[in-house]
Structure 1
Amino acid sequence: MQGRVSLSVGCITLFLMGTDLFVVSPLLPFISKAYHVNPAMAGWMVTVFAVTYAFSAPFFGWLSDKKGRRAFITFGLLLFTISNALTAFAPSFLWLIISRILAGLSVASITPLIYAVIGDIAPPDRRGTWLSIVVSGHLTALWAGAPFGTLLEHFLGWRSVFVVMAIIGAILAVVNFKTWKSIPIGDTTTKRLEGNILRILGSVSVTTLWAISMYALYVYLGAALYSENRFSSSEIALAVTFYGVGAVLGSLSSGQLTDKFGEREISKTTLIFLTLSLICLGVFFSSADWIYFFLFIWALVGYAGFTSYQARLAVEYPRERGIVMAWNNTALYIGITIGSMIGGYVISIWGYSLLPYVCSIAAIASFVLSTKKVEKPKNNRLFQ
């Protein structure tokens, strides 16, 4: 029962974090109008959030390995409540940007630590399944949380979205504080980041390349579908739904496969299939009859790979789990940023049709890097 409660709390918490991340983009037109700024300027809300998250997540991961995870998760949710309330009622665009910086800081102290704490408490033979469940909570926000927020904006205005998230954040702060109370502090305070930091960065760079293979195309998916297939807005929404459902199912299914066949084997196998699915997506991208299917398959194998690699990192770095999960999330955001830049460059020169093939190259590179085994350090100690 305690395991079910922990998984439910972790899943719901990450769903809220994912909603906060994914809901901003569809709200940008309304926000830019409210503060009399152009959409490009309003886009800084997303940029400052991502940059703050990327730089602060490793710091919180390191502290949680030394001091325990419960306090930092609770702190993050309280800050999340404050930041979203400030976003809802920001008196100026400057304060709006400040609120998103605080939001990035709060999510950085929540998301990777939820992954880490689930890795801490999960039974060794069920770690993959447990991690896949909480990852699916984050991914569900892609096709459920963001559309719900957009619907809420239609009836009550965009500010209501952030008010609701602030209220839920406050409730979850109490729930998380009580949920992780049973975890002995001694399990985390004795942990130290041992060994060469470069080996950890090498491991999480697999995630950076994976993110490039997913987001160099996904960022421009709507525009690509309109350009290549003349999709309407409803057809684009349906395509994104197929992608989102595939992502959730991929995450959930990979957990059981990982527990059965091993983290390393599944993470490598899914990267091979990710490469193949991207090539097929490129071949059939202009075919309206097949595009939904291959978008589903792409997300299915892609996020199965992400979840299995999270489980692999949890196993290969048991003593540094908090900071490794944090660095892995930073690597994810770096990959998203680089992927969007690469995608923009590709479409400006060659057009949208080449994007799936460029993504497949990143997937191959991610697979090659993932085949390298983690070598244990000798006697180096950092951040002690």
Structure 2
Amino acid sequence: MNYRLLILVLGTFIIGTDDFVIAGLLPHISNDMNVTIAAAGQLVTAFAIAYAIGAPLFGTLTMNLPLKGLLVVSMLVFAIANALSAIVASFEMLFLTRILAALAAAIFTPLAMTASASLVSEKMRGKALSFILAGITIGLVLGAPIGTWIGNAATWRYSFIFVSVISFITVIGVFLFLPKMKREAEMTIRERLKGFNKVILLTLLVNIIGTTGGFMTYTYIAPIITGITNMENISIFLMLFGIGALFGNLIGGYFTDRIGAPKTLMLSLGGFAVLLASFSFLSLLNPSTFAIIMVSIVAILWGVPGFGMNPALNTFLIALNPKSAQMVLSFSASALYMGIGLGAFVGGGVISVSSVNYVGAGSGVLVLIALLLFVMIHKFTGKKERNTY
């Protein structure tokens, strides 16, 4: 593995940590800032919306600027935003610093994916992308619990200090060890946008629908699992999911290089749909040891296809428009965060009209729709294009 990739992984790791740690800090922030939990929760919404808007916007505006310089500046702004989050005196200011952090993250993550592809051979792109995306997953599995522990042991402000320190280390690593990387040939925004044909747009829609389906269940996983197992503390199941997600990134990258992005993506979406729907079937069980075992199995398995589809999808997108890889990946990141936001909204709608037991089935249906849409896209691209992926 190219050691330079580890620097980029460190960057996506701390971004993932910053993204997910906020959930564990909400009660502390709520008490300290004298706002309700619901109001504090809007910090998560603000981060997701800012990221979804910022990724394609800044990806387009910065597409002709030096890659290494943008990586340094975006991570430096991210570090400063988190340092400011640790010292702000009002909730309004914290709200603004979270938006600033999200915008910086929205620039860095697609750039890190673009850089990873340029640091390795074409045959290793899928694996390189999987390592970069694995950084975000490790942030979920390891970084967020560490940040939450720091916040509980001291105050929530020290969690942001932790994120800021690691971010500054990443800045130094990028500056010292990454080479100057050749950018795509300079083109105008209009020329690049011409490459956004309906195949790319429909593939981004696959990303949105698939992610919406996955996060419908993830957002409401606590009441789902508690209803099946009668266990209030579901941390062990979340840890199993995180382990599965980590392996999913790596396995997805491996199979993308071995059997191609389209086949890997279709297999991932199919498996993901089945595993998500299984939560609704498990709700038919009475709380028992058997139910706990079955939920544990599904918990560790569903992260594999759920995160395994990301390297395949992004590799597929790059192949559709290699000259605009950064901009395409920025739109892909935006689609991902749009799906995260829609997942909570749609899942809440399912619960309001039925019950939490139907969320898994609804998730499975959405992911199945994403699979069917991609099958149509894959056929549309034709045999000639497929051979290039």
Instruction: Tell me if structure 1 keeps the 8 A contact 2:67–2:180.
Output: no
- Aligned residue in 1 for 2:311: 307
Using the alignment, how far apart are the partners of 2:57 and 2:22 within structure 1? 25
Measured at CA, do residues 337 and 194 of structure 1 come closer, stay the same or move farther in structure 2, by a change above 3 Å?
A: closer
Using the alignment, how far apart are the partners of 1:312 and 1:332 within structure 2? 15
Instruction: Tell me if structure 2 keeps the 8 A contact 1:64–1:113.
Output: no
Q: Deviations over 1:119-160 (max 9, x none)?
A: 233211111111111111110111111111111112221111
CA displacement at 1:309 relative to structure 2? 1.0
Using the alignment, how far apart are the partners of 1:94 and 1:154 within structure 2? 23
Instruction: Tell me if structure 2 keeps the 8 A contact 1:14–1:135.
Output: yes
Please state whether the residue corresponding to 1:23 is helix, strand or coil. Answer: helix
Equivalent residue letter for 1:361:
V
Instruction: Tell me if structure 2 keeps the 8 A contact 1:228–1:352.
Output: no
Residue 228 in 1 paired to residue 228 in 2?
Answer: yes
Q: Deviations over 1:192-250 (max 9, x none)?
A: 515253523222111101111110010011122223322131xx000001110000001
Equivalent residue letter for 1:346:
V
Percent identity, please: 26
- Aligned residue in 2 for 1:364: 368
Using the alignment, how far apart are the partners of 1:180 and 1:60 within structure 2? 22
- Aligned residue in 1 for 2:80: 82
Number of aligned positions between the proteins: 371
Using the alignment, how far apart are the partners of 2:177 and 2:315 within structure 1? 22
Instruction: Tell me if structure 1 keeps the 8 A contact 2:317–2:329.
Output: yes
Please state whether the residue corresponding to 1:109 is helix, strand or coil. Answer: helix
Residue range with higher mean Cα deviation, 274-283 or 76-85: 274-283
Instruction: Tell me if structure 1 keeps the 8 A contact 2:46–2:95.
Output: yes
CA displacement at 1:289 relative to structure 2? 2.1
- Aligned residue in 1 for 2:254: 256
Using the alignment, how far apart are the partners of 1:63 and 1:181 within structure 2? 23
**Structure 1 residues 235-384: aligned runs within 5 Å:** 236-285=234-283, 286=285, 287-371=291-375, 372-373=377-378
CA displacement at 1:28 relative to structure 2? 0.5
- Aligned residue in 2 for 1:380: none
Measured at CA, do residues 23 and 130 of structure 1 come closer, stay the same or move farther in structure 2, by a change above 3 Å?
A: same
Equivalent residue letter for 1:21:
D
Please state whether the residue corresponding to 1:344 is helix, strand or coil. Answer: helix
Instruction: Tell me if structure 2 keeps the 8 A contact 1:67–1:188.
Output: no
Using the alignment, how far apart are the partners of 1:269 and 1:289 within structure 2? 25
Equivalent residue letter for 2:339:
G
Instruction: Tell me if structure 2 keeps the 8 A contact 1:346–1:354.
Output: yes
Using the alignment, how far apart are the partners of 2:49 and 2:71 within structure 1? 20
CA displacement at 1:366 relative to structure 2? 0.8
Measured at CA, do residues 375 and 68 of structure 1 come closer, stay the same or move farther in structure 2, by a change above 3 Å?
A: farther
TM, length-normalised to structure 2? 0.91
Equivalent residue letter for 1:96:
L
Q: Deviations over 1:269-306 (max 9, x none)?
A: 21112122223332224422200101211111111112
Residue 139 in 1 paired to residue 143 in 2?
Answer: no
Using the alignment, how far apart are the partners of 1:150 and 1:262 within structure 2? 38
Using the alignment, how far apart are the partners of 1:24 and 1:226 within structure 2? 22
Residue 10 in 1 paired to residue 8 in 2?
Answer: yes
Residue range with higher mean Cα deviation, 273-282 or 91-100: 273-282
Using the alignment, how far apart are the partners of 1:121 and 1:375 within structure 2? 28
Using the alignment, how far apart are the partners of 2:60 and 2:69 within structure 1? 13
- Aligned residue in 2 for 1:179: 177
Using the alignment, how far apart are the partners of 2:314 and 2:216 within structure 1? 21
**Structure 1 residues 21-170: aligned runs within 5 Å:** 21-170=19-168
Using the alignment, how far apart are the partners of 1:333 and 1:298 within structure 2? 19
Using the alignment, how far apart are the partners of 1:279 and 1:62 within structure 2? 37
Using the alignment, how far apart are the partners of 1:353 and 1:258 within structure 2? 34
Residue range with higher mean Cα deviation, 28-37 or 302-311: 302-311
Using the alignment, how far apart are the partners of 1:21 and 1:111 within structure 2? 12
- Aligned residue in 1 for 2:196: 197
Instruction: Tell me if structure 2 keeps the 8 A contact 1:49–1:104.
Output: yes
Equivalent residue letter for 1:302:
G
Residue range with higher mean Cα deviation, 132-141 or 240-249: 132-141
Instruction: Tell me if structure 2 keeps the 8 A contact 1:212–1:362.
Output: yes
Please state whether the residue corresponding to 2:64 is helix, strand or coil. Answer: helix
TM, length-normalised to structure 1? 0.92
Instruction: Tell me if structure 2 keeps the 8 A contact 1:65–1:321.
Output: no
- Aligned residue in 2 for 1:207: 207
CA displacement at 1:88 relative to structure 2? 0.6
- RMSD (CA atoms): 1.8
Equivalent residue letter for 2:106:
A
Q: Unaligned 5+ residue runs, structure 2? A: 286-290, 383-389
Please state whether the residue corresponding to 1:126 is helix, strand or coil. Answer: helix
Using the alignment, how far apart are the partners of 2:185 and 2:145 within structure 1? 38
- Aligned residue in 2 for 1:379: none
